[in-house]
Amino acid sequence: MENMYLKVKEMISVRDAAFFYGLDADRIGLYPCVIHQHDQPGMEIGDRYYYCHECRQSGDVIDLVARMFVLSRQEAAEKLILDFGLLSRNELKAFTEEWQCQKNPDQDQLHAMFVLSEVVHVMRIWKEVCLAIRLHGEVKKAFSLVCRYLFVFEDMLDRIAFGTDAQAQEMMNILNETDLIDALEQDILEENKVHNPWLFEDEDDDMPFDENIDSEEMI
């Protein structure tokens, strides 16, 4: 079965989505950023990505829509599918149910999805921390690095969670060959659990926006 959740990124360009949802470019082709919402347009939008020159945020079409409408990546993908008429609502429901019946991840895949989900969670919070602090100097560099790797890890998670069996297995082969999951567990999750335990608390808890946070502890 064709994986519509990944295919949507190939079928809908970021530029088309931006136009569809009402983002207007200025005379030199820059858009207002949907992340930090600065009055001065600074976001560049291409066919497959967007990039803000001010906050250094980037992502694909699913990430753009997720940010615009405060959705999860799966919800954003489904919104794109419906809004652009790739599937009807009934067809999408049937596709999702069929996919859930067919998808049977093994223990290694479940472990990889858990680790990647935790890493994505940590990096998303660090993005918000950086935005709450002023984006300059080392904080700006750290923010740029977090955004870059967050995009990569979200794509890995998409391919394992929503990809076909072949796509999921291909990604698992890459992860196993590089020992990336073990490295992520040790270098990001364990280190942050020791030094920044608040990252793993409930989302309703207050987030400590400390201007003295050491940006080198972020990754």
The pLDDT profile of the chain, 219 residues, written as one tens digit per residue, is 446 667 788 899 999 999 999 988 888 888 888 777 666 788 889 888 888 877 777 788 888 898 888 887 778 888 999 999 988 888 888 877 766 665 666 788 888 888 888 888 788 777 777 666 665 666 667 777 777 788 888 888 888 877 777 888 899 999 999 999 888 888 776 666 555 554 455 444 343 333 333 333 333
Looking at residue 211, its pLDDT comes to 35
Q: How far apart are CA 130 and CA 54, in angstroms?
A: 13
Looking at residue 196, its pLDDT comes to 54
Which pair of structure tokens corresponds to residue 41? 């347009």
Domain ranges of the chain: 1-101, 103-219
Looking at residue 218, its pLDDT comes to 36
CATH topology of domain 1-101: DNA Primase; Chain A (3.90.580)
Q: Tokens 């998808």 correspond to what residue?
A: 103
Closest C-alpha among 139, 144, 151, 146 to residue 192: 146
Query: HSE-up of 192 (CA within 13 Å, CB side)?
Result: 22
State the burial class of residue 201 (Cβ atoms within 10 Å of its Cβ: 0-12, 13-18, 19+): exposed
Which pair of structure tokens corresponds to residue 168? 């999921």
Residue 14 identity (one-letter amino acid): V
Q: How far apart are CA 105 and CA 40, in angstroms?
A: 45
pTM of the predicted protein model: 0.54
State the burial class of residue 67 (Cβ atoms within 10 Å of its Cβ: 0-12, 13-18, 19+): middle
Handedness of CA 140, 25, 69, 105 (dihedral sign): negative
Helices 61-69 and 73-83: crossing angle in degrees, nearest 10, is: 100
158, 163, 167, 168: CA torsion to nearest 10: 70
Q: How far apart are CA 72 and CA 150, in angstroms?
A: 14
Looking at residue 207, its pLDDT comes to 35
